[in-house]
Amino acid sequence: MVKIFSLLFCILAFPVFAQTASTELTLVQRCLDEAKKELKENPEGLTALNALKIVPDSVQVERYDRKIGRQHIATQLTATLRSATKPSVMLLCLLEEDKPLFTFIR
């Protein structure tokens, strides 16, 4: 009986977990797209950014309701980005209504 409930939970819960992971990766991609817009005048930086891949397990989305100065921030996102040839870097992105306001890569 316990096995049946466990199996049923996994079947019902998996789509929720998959959707959450998909949403997080969508937010990371939006942040990266914003960073690419900021680098359009820097071809070398843009090439380096395009070589980076998201580490899916590293994505952390923290939802909160705060202001930084006068700007409201609803979400802070962090993720590790990897390249085949260079050390990993960290992406920090601040969002409002799931729209990137600020991106920082170090």
pTM above the 0.85 mark?
Answer: no
Instruction: Give the residue carrying structure tokens 């959707």.
Output: 19
Which parts of the chain register pLDDT below 50?
2-20
The pLDDT of residue 21: 58
CB 31, CB 77: distance < 8 Å: yes
CB 76, CB 62: distance < 8 Å: yes
Instruction: Report how far residue 92's alpha carbon sits from residue 62's, in angstroms, rounded to the nearest whole number.
Output: 11
Identity at 93, one-letter amino acid code? C
Give me Rg for the CA atoms of the chain.
17
16 CB-contact burial (10 Å; exposed 0-12 / middle 13-18 / buried 19+): exposed
CB 84, CB 51: distance < 8 Å: yes
Specify which residues 94 forms β-bridges with: 76, 102
